[in-house]
Structure 1
């Protein structure tokens, strides 16, 4: 049987259950629902380090972010790393990358460039190895003023219209002009629905026409004390929102969440266009399609916005795989982390890669779920000013049923969260101080320590639950 084509669609800041097939009443995603129905959906997939840069590092290398001390923002991928593109190319696939890269640190703490300057700064070939066709950019975070670089050209080309539509246009054009002599491996990386939430008027009107938002049970708008500067009023930048002004908080929150949902519906419409293009090219039955996000969006859950937290709205990501040989209509409850993606994608391409993650390609083709105690979640390093390094760091273990987290402290991380995900799927009851849950907490703390040891993580733990502390050096 010839090797399949593989098409990966990577979106940014879409949480796992933001799909109509997962019961979210605030949007309609018929094309993604159809993809899930004809393939396999992972119900416990997580972004190990729920932020843009570290997710991309682990996707590209298969390694944990803590293995290179990757921060939440501002990291440049070393040319010495073996990349996903190189590994798949070695399987005989023609590789291509279209869209956001965010591994060259052309913007942020270390780059010293504005977003506009970063958008027009090329990523050198030495820092994007393995991608034989390149139509990419570092990052933009603006949907009506986006630029791409084609292969090694130093001059950027402006994208016409909304960035999401334009990037899908490029992917469709690539499918039509693809190399015919070997299978392709294409990654389409779009920035949506990352803020600023710039939805098209048509998609925004569609969401608003359904009436008021129906938020998750754990959404607490009154508890939100900070709106990111990229969040918008209905007619422009929100600026500083007075925490005491409940009406202003509610107005800004509603406008932005409606636009976030509208951007996901725009992605779904484009997934329909992409599927139609595959069918028109005779590729639908020869192509494995993978849809996923780099992390979620809290969207007011637990009184917070954005990502970088261990709760499911932040770390839970959609992961759907469909195509030739993939089990149809399967729902997988196995916890899956970012580090599993590299070996799994290479496995689907016909190769084999080692590393800390699991190759789930055999399972996707109908095999049994592997045994796994749980997956590691982490926030490794914060480099942005005004944020306490110790308080920002945390580690967690996510099992099928529980999540247990410890939070950084100058004398070693201490117990922070314990949730029973079966009884409390929205994580509204923290059991960390519940005497009845102490035995569970102790067992999970021990399992977390073993995960830290197994992955070479030097994260320090204070003594807890009758267990000794852990020094900042792997044993």
Structure 2
């Protein structure tokens, strides 16, 4: 492990990139004379629970993702994209604010993001953008099916949203300011994507650029609910399980993964529709298009399910970024570590907009443009308090950890818990935390993690302490109970 690398916060402080983003935007970055009205459109598409390991372009030969594979050939493909706190509400709050969960306070599901927060929708709106959000929201905390008033929409004007549902074939939503609940027609992913296509069509020739978020529910379970056409792709297909799936779980894992892949292939088709619309409307060159996911899914790797865990199947997500005007259309692999908190500052900088001082993430745009050396040392991963599908009765625990390009190191309240060399052990089957030969690396990683926690003023206390601080009401297992 290199000892001369600097941490994420030190990187920001040293370079001044968080407050000096405009130095790397507009004409200074590309040599072109861009006017304000020529700022790029931004289309940010993200799925729920789609792990990095399950794409064709990522090397999975079983899953059918031809449109994403084509997109990857024209995009930056991030090999080290991390979901800091891999669960729905915390991810979404970090995505919109560029802050870690301890700062914005949403470290459990079904609680509300401060309506006064400095968030990405507000920043783009203040800069003259049209703003839109379609799909799953999950940061309002007022029941999963209730109408969300404009003051809680974080700067998004066009708003076709439901807080949360995974009933993809009977999926309710609210249409902007209409308080009458409606139902997306058919499989909600298709209807939401078509609505996004219409939004793109309606705003492609506006004087103002637009910011569009499209948030899909699948491939999150229930796995069996994808349209039959896509389930048929895998009905008779032999599925190669990851080696870290225990023998006792294999039959169930294959069944669930086939349904999971069916959802993925349906979403992949939607990626193709979106790209066709962007090209047809003549805005491809000056549109930033991002595809990613909020977190992954264990799918019986390590004998576990769902998310929140510190293993790669849970924390690593696919991330593609296409922006022909700045990066051309010849795809390339990017090894730079990127965490969810880095997305907001990077997109703002790429769009020529200032980055609020409240942002804790790192602006990666200068690195991507070759103007700054990649000195990002590690991405923080954490569970501030276990809840939901990983309650204490299911083995859930608080942890803090760091994911580097090579290693995963994690501590729980009792001390060092996990250490994996992800190069020599890509399926994380050998925990090196007590191995004598790994103690030097362990010490270095522990030092890095300690610095990261000091910088974010994280005392790493029991989860109950943070619940008390934020005043959340939880059940005996630490979960905020919600109304459907």
Category of TM-score, reference length = shorter chain: 0.7 to 0.9
Contact 2:256 2:299 in 1 (8 A): no
Offset of residue 439 of structure 1: 1.1
Q: Deviations over 1:423-447 (max 9, x none)?
A: 1111111101100101111111111
Which residue of 340, 343, 365 maps to 2:342? Answer: 340
Q: Could you say which residue in structure 1 is the equivalent of 2:272? A: 272
Contact 1:343 1:359 in 2 (8 A): yes
Contact 2:308 2:390 in 1 (8 A): no
Q: Could you say which residue in structure 2 is the equivalent of 1:380? A: 384
Which residue of 103, 121, 131 maps to 1:85? Answer: 121
Offset of residue 252 of structure 1: 3.5
Over aligned residues, Cα RMSD in angstroms? 2.0
Which residue of 230, 246, 254 maps to 1:203? Answer: 230
Q: Could you say which residue in structure 1 is the equivalent of 2:211? A: 185
Alignment partners' CA distance in 2, 1:460 and 1:446: 18
Q: Could you say which residue in structure 2 is the equivalent of 1:32? A: 68
Alignment partners' CA distance in 1, 2:383 and 2:44: 25
Secondary structure of the structure 2 residue equivalent to 1:275: helix
Secondary structure of the structure 1 residue equivalent to 2:219: coil
Normalised to the residue count of structure 1, the TM-score between the two structures is 0.85
Q: Deviations over 1:361-416 (max 9, x none)?
A: 233344445312211100112344993399521110111111100123xxxx4110
Alignment partners' CA distance in 2, 1:397 and 1:84: 26
C-alpha distance 215-367 of structure 1, shift in aligned 2 (>3 A): farther
Alignment partners' CA distance in 1, 2:98 and 2:61: 35
Alignment partners' CA distance in 1, 2:91 and 2:334: 21
Map 1:92-111; keep pairs closer than 5 Å.
92-107=128-143
Whether 1:5 aligns to 2:41 is yes
Q: Deviations over 1:263-301 (max 9, x none)?
A: 111111111111111111112222111001000011111
Q: Deviations over 1:318-371 (max 9, x none)?
A: 111002212532211122111101111211221121422111123334444531
Alignment partners' CA distance in 2, 1:369 and 1:263: 38
Q: Could you say which residue in structure 2 is the equivalent of 1:371? A: 375
Whether 1:56 aligns to 2:92 is yes
Secondary structure of the structure 2 residue equivalent to 1:189: strand
Q: Could you say which residue in structure 1 is the equivalent of 2:21? A: none
Alignment partners' CA distance in 1, 2:62 and 2:89: 29
C-alpha distance 192-448 of structure 1, shift in aligned 2 (>3 A): same
Q: Could you tell me which runs of 5 or more consecutive residues in structure 1 were left unpaired when the two chains were aligned.
A: 108-117, 225-249, 462-472
Map 1:282-297; keep pairs closer than 5 Å.
282-297=282-297
Q: Deviations over 1:77-101 (max 9, x none)?
A: 1112111101122232211101110
Q: Could you say which residue in structure 2 is the equivalent of 1:468? A: none
Q: Deviations over 1:205-238 (max 9, x none)?
A: 01224x221111212252x5xxxxxxxxxxxxxx
Q: Could you say which residue in structure 2 is the equivalent of 1:306? A: 306
Whether 1:140 aligns to 2:160 is no
Q: How many residues align?
A: 420
Normalised to the residue count of structure 2, the TM-score between the two structures is 0.83
Which residue of 396, 401, 406 maps to 2:401? Answer: 396
Secondary structure of the structure 1 residue equivalent to 2:307: coil
Alignment partners' CA distance in 2, 1:352 and 1:17: 34
Which residue of 78, 83, 93 maps to 1:42? Answer: 78
Secondary structure of the structure 1 residue equivalent to 2:213: strand
Whether 1:166 aligns to 2:202 is no
C-alpha distance 366-82 of structure 1, shift in aligned 2 (>3 A): same
> Bigger shift: 282-291 or 303-312?
282-291
Alignment partners' CA distance in 1, 2:268 and 2:388: 33
